[in-house]
Amino acid sequence: MAANDTTPLIERRSIDYIPEAERHGRLLSQFTLWMGANLQITAIVTGALAVVLGGDVFWSLIGLLIGQLIGGGVMALHAAQGPKLGLPQMISSRVQFGVYGAAIPIVLVCLMYLGFTATGTVLSGQALGQLFGVSDSVGILIFASVIVLVTVLGYRVIHFIGRVASIIGVIAFVYLFSRLISQTDVGALLQIRHFSWSSFLLAVSLAASWQIAFGPYVADYSRYLPSNTSSVKTFLAAGAGSVIGAQVAMVLGVFAAAMSNGQFAGHEVAYIVGLSGTGATAALLYFSIAFGKVTISTLNSYGSFMCIATIISGFRGRLEVTRLQRLVFVLAIVGTATLIALLGQHSFLGAFKSFILFLLAFFTPWSAINLVDYYCITRERYDVPALADPNGRYGRWNLLGIGVYVFGVLVQLPFISTKFYTGPLVAALGDVDISWIIGLVLPAAVYYLCAKKWHSAVPDQLILPPEQGATPIKAGLAVQA
C-alpha cells in the first residue's frame, strides 16, 4: 500500500474514479473512522430514546445490539464495494437506476445528510456554548465553521480526524462509564424486565436505522484503499468499528436515561457532562463531545457534497468537480444545515426520533436493490466508464430499478409509525413499526427475481477507465480524471 506521505493533504479527487497509483490507506483506518464517528453524543441520545420512549434497560440493550448487528451488516456490505470500484457509493447506483434515474434516491440521501448534520450541530453547539461560555447559537456557528474547513480538505484529513476522535472517544467513554457505575446501581436497573414487543422493536429499529443510514456514503471512505484489499476484511473493519462504537454509545445513553428521572430529554449534553462533576473535567468532556461530532458531521457534509456533485454530473456527462465548486457546494450544504439547526434547536429530541425512523422508508429499499445487484446479479462486474454516459450501457433511466424502489417505499407505508405518518396496520400490530424489515426483504426478493430475467447485459468482468491499463472500454465515455 502506498505511503500516506505521498498523498496530498488537500484532496484532489471528488466523485471521479480513484486510479490505482493514488490508492492508499490501511484497513485500521476504516475501523477507527467508524468507531470515532459513532462514539459521540447523538448515538448516546439515540440509545437513550429506547428508554425515554418506554423501554426498560435490559430489553433495550438487547434490542439495540440486534439492530446494530443487522444494520451494521448492511452498512459493511456497502463499505466492501469501495476498494473494488474506486467510486463513491451513490455513483454506483447508476447501474441499478440509470445515469439520470440515480438522482431519485440521491436527492433523498441529501435530505438525510442535512437532517443529521443539523441535529448533530445542535448538540455540538450546546457543548461549545458551555465550553466557551457563549450561547448555544454561537456554539452552533463555531462548529459549522470547523465542519466547512475539514470537509473542504477532504478524505485524508477526515480519516486523520477519525483516528483522533476514536482515541478521545474511548478515553471519554471509559471515564463516563466509571462515573455512571459509581453513581447508580446498574445491577438493579438490569433486574427490571418488562418485555414489550413495541418497545423492543423500537430499540431494534433505532439501532438498525442508525447503521443503515451510513449505507449511502460508507464506500466514499473506503474507495481509496488498493483494489486488491480483501472485501471480507473491509467488511469486518468498517462494520466492527461502527457496531462497537454505536453500541457502546447507546449503552451509555440507555443507562443515563434510566437514572435521570426525566431530566435527560432536552438537556442531553449537560446531563451527560454532569455525570463527571464540574471544573476542568467537565470542560474536557464538553470538548470531547464537540470533537466527537466533528467526525460524523464532516462525513455528512462530505457525503452531501458527493451526492450533489453526483446529481449534477449525471446530467452534464462527466465526473469532474473543481476545488472551487467543492467549496461552493460545501458552504451551501453546511449553511443550510446550520440554519435548520438554529431554527430547530429547542425541539430537538422528538423531531430527531421521528426523523431517524421515517428515514428507513426511503433508504432500506435502495440498500436492498444496490446490494442484491452488486453481490448477486452483476457480481462486481461493473462498467465504470459507462457510469458517466447517459447513452451507454446503463442508460438514462432504469425502469426496473426505479420501479422496484418505488414498490419498496410504498409497501412499507402500512407499517410505518412516526409523528410524520402512521400506517393503517400499525395499531393491529400493537403499535410495532416493522416497516424497515419489509423494506429490506421484499424489494430484495422482487429485484432479484426480476433482474435475473430482465437485467441489461452484464460485462464479463469489471471494466475500468483505459488509462489504468484495464479492459478496453466497450461502452461509455472515459471517466474524467
Number of domains in the chain: 1
User: How confident is the model at residue 478, as a pLDDT?
Assistant: 31
Give whichever of 20-24, 26-30, 304-308 has the largest mean pLDDT: 26-30
Domain containing 207 — which CATH number? 1.10.4160.10
Tell me whether residue 151 is in a domain: yes
Tell me whether residue 233 is in a domain: yes
Q: How far is CA 458 from CA 313, 324, 426, in A?
A: 23, 37, 41
pLDDT confidence bin for 230, thresholds 50/70/90: very high
Cβ atoms of residues 312 and 125 within 8 Å = no
Tell me whether residue 399 is in a domain: no
Tell me whether residue 64 is in a domain: yes
Shortest CA distance to 284 belongs to which of 171, 401, 434?
A: 171
CB neighbour class for 430 (10 Å; exposed up to 12, middle 13-18, buried from 19): exposed
Determine the average pLDDT of the residues in 254-275. Answer: 74
209: which 3 cell numbers?
436505522
Would you say the C-alpha torsion 35, 39, 45, 49 has a positive or negative sign? Answer: positive
User: How confident is the model at residue 290, as a pLDDT?
Assistant: 77
pLDDT confidence bin for 347, thresholds 50/70/90: low
pTM of the entire structure?
Answer: 0.84
Tell me whether residue 68 is in a domain: yes
Q: Is the per-residue pLDDT at 384 higher than 80?
A: yes
Determine the average pLDDT of the residues in 253-281. Answer: 74
How does pLDDT run across 139-170, given as a tens digit for each residue? Answer: 889 988 988 888 888 778 888 888 888 888 88
Helix (H) or strand (E) holding 264: none
Tell me whether residue 424 is in a domain: no
Neighbouring C-alpha atoms within 13 Å toward the C-beta of 371: 23
Q: How far apart are CA 106 and CA 101, in angstroms?
A: 9
Among 14-28, 93-107, 317-331, the minimum mean pLDDT is found in 317-331
Domain membership of residue 78 as a residue range: 25-348
Tell me whether residue 33 is in a domain: yes
Q: How far apart are CA 257 and CA 260, in angstroms?
A: 5
Neighbouring C-alpha atoms within 13 Å toward the C-beta of 64: 29
User: How confident is the model at residue 469, as a pLDDT?
Assistant: 40
How does pLDDT run across 413-426, given as a tens digit for each residue? Answer: 998 887 778 889 88
DSSP for 190-257, please give it.
HH-----HHHHHHHHHHHHHHHHTTTTTGGGGTTTS-TTS-HHHHHHHHHHHHHHHHHHHHHHHHHHH
Cβ atoms of residues 241 and 35 within 8 Å = yes
Q: How far apart are CA 120 and CA 439, in angstroms?
A: 26
DSSP 8-state assignment for residue 473: P
CB neighbour class for 145 (10 Å; exposed up to 12, middle 13-18, buried from 19): exposed
Shortest CA distance to 208 belongs to which of 73, 105, 117?
A: 73
177: which 3 cell numbers?
462509564
Tell me whether residue 273 is in a domain: yes
User: How confident is the model at residue 471, as a pLDDT?
Assistant: 39
Count of residues in the chain: 481
Q: How far apart are CA 388 and CA 476, in angstroms?
A: 7
DSSP 8-state assignment for residue 422: B
DSSP 8-state assignment for residue 417: B
Q: How far apart are CA 277 and CA 58, in angstroms?
A: 27
Q: Is the per-residue pLDDT at 479 higher than 50?
A: no
